[in-house]
Chain A
Amino acid sequence: MTTLTTTDRKTLPSKGKRRPQAVVDGMPRPKLPERVIKGIFLTVICALVVLPFIGVISTSLATPAEVNHAGGFVMFPTKGVDLTAYKSIFAGGTVTQALLISGFITVVGTAISLALTCSLGWALSRRGTVGNKTLLMLVLVSLLFNPGLIPTYLVVQQFGLLDSIWALIVPTCVSAFNVIVVRSFFTGLPGEVLESARIDGASEWKMFRYIGLPLSKAVIAVIGLFYGVGYWNSFFNALLYINDASKWPLQLVLRTYVVNGVELGGQDLGVGGEALPPQTTIQMAILVISVVPILCVYPFIQRHFAKGVLTGAVKG
């Protein structure tokens, strides 16, 4: 952790060496014990986050012999890599089906959510139009209360969405909070640009499509990530609204076969007759599959986090 050390510009002005920019210029240079304690503290909490994932990935890849020998859990596989667990998962049984459903609701749901959120956010950002204040008030007030579990269930039932995968998309497709975030971003766009577009005869739709959206890519990416993660992770709505096991998304499969520990047989996996890898390995493989999409998208969007989360959230 040598990078933790840095010399304060204020105390040693004569040394012209390039050094990392100090975060807090005015603070005196930390003393050695403080740096050590901080280093240990941060290393420990990072390890607590990373190690379980490494263990899970390792176990999913370890050979059956090694898993059985270790009694279920392998931290660092030493006897080679075995992909049987993944092969049997993708062979076309329950898990494959759930993956398709989760993929569908994530992709389609995110697209619908982004379309509705951005258009509503844009409309709310156009001050002075008819009913603007009323609509904004309706959106803001809806943030303050929670309509309740049972009434919401009844509404979903009334719309005939029970046991339909649309029940996982439609009720949650517009988050009032995200609408507000997008709106405040649109409101912050330079008014002159819109004014000149207006003078050039651009319609409302064209201003939204060719000025508003392209200038807001960062915030849309982050909101898209939030929606996407929400859909991919949607568990409780699925538990409430979906009874038919053939329409289960991945999270319900994960709950049943990993958290509750129900055994996955050859039929569930779509493989017949062959020897199955140990249940732990299969469970870990399902877990890994449910984490991978998030890990893939995460690095690309991560740098936009602060902007996306903080727009409209903290001002001053």
Chain B
Amino acid sequence: MPTPAGAAGMVTQEVSTQPPAVDVAELDTSAGTPKRRRIPLRRRLLTDYPVLLLAVPGMLIILAFQYYPLYGNIIAFQDFQPYLGISKSLWNGVENFAVIVNGDPEFLNAVKNTLILTLIQTVIVFPAPIIVAITLHTLMSNRMRQLVQSILYLPHFMSWVIVVAVFQQVLGGTGMINNWLRSHGLDPIHVIGNAHAFRGLLTSEVIWKDTGWATILFLAVLSQIDRSLYEASAVDGASRWKQIVHVTLPGLKQIIILLLILRLGDSLSVGFEQIILQQPAVGRDASEVLDTYVYNNGILGGAWGVSAAVGLVKGVIGLGLVLGANKLAHRLGEEGIYRG
């Protein structure tokens, strides 16, 4: 995930942007009381300045590395030359967007790969933690459950470099599995560096790394389901399977919708670090996605303007998808990520 918000931000990627739901709602009710309003601004600054001072360093970082770069997006409309800088580079209108409109083959390939990977991630990767969470939830022994959880959370804390390295060691030409196959007189299988197997490889890596961690949210929601619902359904003769379908899954509905909305916003960013690491082995045809396209053509290739244009369009579409999905969720009577 290419968020320049960075490493620390990546760790919490899947749950980011949820708090607004609560906080924006709170804002409306917690606005300053009229009594407070009457105090002149200078007096208030005098009493409140220690609080503001505490906020300054953190706010500066957010403004400098979240808001200030937004201004840099104008190079999408420039023939940007790094040594001239933004102020001296020449404007070239929407020329940079021509590559998108005209359907440059390299760009189209990146779009195709991105969309396919997004589809795979939504259909296969997304439901996996729900299945694991339900299985864990029906475990009767707490100790067992905690042991399994500790093991499954662990890969989330490994970097993509480590995950890719481990996968290479297991599946590579001289890796664990091929060694075993060879010592038993079987043909080795080629997964690493095989362009045809690349999507499958990416998918299994994502599942391996993050499925366990993603269960944490589902488990939290599951633990809040009213137990009397299970009792009532048992009295009515529901089997355990029927209870999962009619009690557990409806209980998860809200969080599933919420996570799907968030995923939609990220849907054009699929596994950036993961792909960049493995790109040399499989080639760009099979592995290029929008983010790697921006990186390869912009920062490595020097096509700054075009890459910024692609990045800008991608960002705008992502934002639009989140806002749209949120609206749709409201229409369907769901909470969504925030109330606007």
| A residues neighboring B (CB under 8 Å) | 1, 3-6, 10, 20-28, 30-31, 34, 38, 41-42, 45-46, 48-50, 52-53, 55-56, 59, 70-73, 75, 113, 115-117, 119-120, 122-124, 126-133, 135-140, 142-155, 157, 159, 168, 170-181, 183-184, 203-205, 208, 226-227, 229-237, 239-240, 251, 254-255, 258-260, 280, 283-284, 287, 290-291, 294-295, 298-299, 302, 305-306, 309-310, 312-316
Instruction: Return 11 A-B CB contacts under 8 Å, by A number.
Output: A3-B144, A23-B138, A23-B139, A73-B169, A116-B57, A116-B61, A145-B70, A172-B8, A181-B19, A230-B8, A260-B280
List the A side residues contacting B15 at CB < 8 Å. 177, 309, 313
**Are A233 and B240 touching (Cβ within 8 A)?**
no
**Are B240 and A149 touching (Cβ within 8 A)?**
no
**Are A305 and B216 touching (Cβ within 8 A)?**
yes
Docked CA distance A124–B19 (Å): 14
Using known A-B contacts A30-B240, A149-B294, A204-B50, determine if residue A302 contacts B150 with beta carbons closer than 8 Å. yes
- Stretch of B108-116, B117-125, B305-313 on the interface side: B305-313
Docked CA distance A227–B10 (Å): 10
**Are A145 and B6 touching (Cβ within 8 A)?**
no
Closest approach, in angstroms, between the C-beta of A60 and any C-beta of chain B? 11
**Are B240 and A147 touching (Cβ within 8 A)?**
no
**Are B69 and A72 touching (Cβ within 8 A)?**
no
**Are A27 and B240 touching (Cβ within 8 A)?**
yes
Docked CA distance A229–B9 (Å): 11
Docked CA distance A27–B73 (Å): 55
- CB 8 Å contact bits of B177-197 with A (1 = contact, 0 = none): 001001000000000000000
Docked CA distance A252–B72 (Å): 28
Using known A-B contacts A151-B73, A310-B220, determine if residue A144 contacts B319 with beta carbons closer than 8 Å. yes
- CB 8 Å contact bits of B129-141 with A (1 = contact, 0 = none): 0001001111111
Between A and B, how many residue pairs show CB distances below 8 Å?
390
Docked CA distance A230–B273 (Å): 13
List the A side residues contacting B217 at CB < 8 Å. 309-310, 313-314
Give A50's nearest chain B residue, CB to CB. B151
Interface positions of B from 66 to 90, Cβ below 8 Å from A: 66-73, 75, 82, 86
List the A side residues contacting B329 at CB < 8 Å. none
**Are B299 and A150 touching (Cβ within 8 A)?**
yes
Using known A-B contacts A175-B12, A229-B11, A314-B18, determine if residue A146 contacts B3 with beta carbons closer than 8 Å. yes
**Are A26 and B276 touching (Cβ within 8 A)?**
no
Docked CA distance A52–B205 (Å): 13
**Are A42 and B68 touching (Cβ within 8 A)?**
no
Judged by a CB distance under 8 angstroms, whether B94 is at the interface is: no
Give B18's nearest chain A residue, CB to CB. A313
Docked CA distance A306–B213 (Å): 11
**Are A130 and B44 touching (Cβ within 8 A)?**
yes
Judged by a CB distance under 8 angstroms, whether B145 is at the interface is: yes
Using known A-B contacts A53-B166, A128-B32, A144-B17, determine if residue A23 contacts B58 with beta carbons closer than 8 Å. no
Docked CA distance A208–B165 (Å): 43
**Are A259 and B161 touching (Cβ within 8 A)?**
yes
**Are A20 and B165 touching (Cβ within 8 A)?**
no
**Are A26 and B179 touching (Cβ within 8 A)?**
no
Using known A-B contacts A27-B243, A129-B51, A142-B67, determine if residue A150 contacts B308 with beta carbons closer than 8 Å. yes
**Are B4 and A148 touching (Cβ within 8 A)?**
yes
Docked CA distance A83–B12 (Å): 36
Judged by a CB distance under 8 angstroms, whether B45 is at the interface is: yes
Give A284's nearest chain B residue, CB to CB. B169
**Are A151 and B70 touching (Cβ within 8 A)?**
yes
